[in-house]
Chain A
Amino acid sequence: MYGWIWRHLPGPLYLRVVEAVVLVVGIVALLMFVVFPWAEPKLPFNNVTTQ
């Protein structure tokens, strides 16, 4: 998977490194600001109230 992505990134080496970093940052941001806030209430970690 990682090898496949690397092979399909266009441009010379330095450009490919930049593209890879942008991809990683984008995915981390997507997880942090969209996926995790959505998933968190569904997980049994942080319920602090009594019923």
Chain B
Amino acid sequence: MPPRGMPPRPRPVDPPTEVIPRVEDDYDDEYYDDDYYDEDEKDALPPESFARKAVRGVGEGLITMGLVVLLFVVYEVYVTDLLSAEKQQDATAALDSEWSSNTVTPPPADPNRQSKLNLIEGKAFAKMYIPVFGNDWKFSVVEGTTDKHLEIGPGHYKDTAQPGEAGNFAIAGHRVGKGAPFNDLDLLESCNAVVVQTQTQWFVYRVLPMSSEVAGWASNPKSKQPACTGVAPLSTTLGDAYAKTVGQEIVLPTQGEVIAPIPHQTAAAVPADKQARLLTLTTCHPRFSDRQRLIVHAIETKSYPVADGFVPPEMTEG
């Protein structure tokens, strides 16, 4: 409150609101006008010459080729997986229906007198499990190792032994794309189980000792583990013919002798009934290259007859 006696100060009077007429502003119109903009652009660029067009064409071509190569990588690593998964599913379904429809003759007791499977190229005849790769690692193995067969899944080399047969049951599989069944083959260690199921039998193969483990195997604490029962360097149990057969090896693509009945021995020095029952897996090495081959050898340690609801205890390993 102002002190008494003083007259109130006059308040300023608000001036009346002044109405300013709208000014027409054509700056924006001009700025966003296509013609205006284009003209400016054309002024800035040099005229289209043949050289300019050529350089741009080459540049765009190179970018396009780069995109195509990238797309090929996507195809190779992902799309082929999808295509192969479908084929693998079909093959497994066909195998399941075959197994459930035809009658089973129980396997003979003598492991050296197995009934031969009737293998048809491109058709699945066995299922393969590697428990250390997880429960979901299962593939139906087809007969034949051409590109067409291997798109379906791991392929059995024709004319090599059948599952559980003396000799070398040899399987090839892709490491990159096409379902990549053998993607992690390099991670298999000695004594890891590879389980193969046919219509009548389960066969448990175990990876042989690696070349670095062969020398001290007997004193290696690993050899005492239950998983390693029946696994020993083959040179100590079966003689020198098997000296080169170890758990894992990397060879040249031309070294087909790794899938011989006795690996690396093309002239079979051991009669068939004295040969070990081996499993050999082959894939490309290094990954994304076909310069070499990665080979894994395993030996059969156990077999079980197929029975309803029975799953080998080895399947829960890993």
Which residue of A is nearest B288, CB measured?
Answer: A45
Q: Which of A2, A46, A50 contacts B259 (CB 8 A)?
A: A50
Min C-beta distance of B174 to chain A, whole Å: 6
When chains A and B are docked, how far (Å) is the Cα of A44 from the Cα of B253? 12
B contact patch SS? mixed
Closest Cβ–Cβ distance, residue A44 to chain B (whole Å) = 5
**Chain A contact patch, size range:** 10 to 19
Q: Which residue of B lies closest to A31 (CB)?
A: B71
Name the distance in Å between B36's Cβ and chain A's nearest Cβ: 19
Q: Contact check: which of A1, A32, A45 meets B60 at CB < 8 Å?
A: A1
Contacts of B288 in A (CB 8 A): 45
Q: How far is the CA of A32 from the CA of B172 in the complex (A)?
A: 25
Known A48-B173, A50-B253; judge A32-B290 contact (CB<8 A): no
Within the complex, the shortest CB–CB distance from B117 to chain A, in Å, comes to 21
Contact B253–A46 (Cβ < 8 Å): no
Contacts of A45 in B (CB 8 A): 76, 176, 284, 288-290
10 contacts between A and B (CB under 8 A): A1-B56, A31-B71, A45-B289, A47-B284, A48-B173, A48-B282, A48-B290, A49-B155, A51-B253, A51-B254
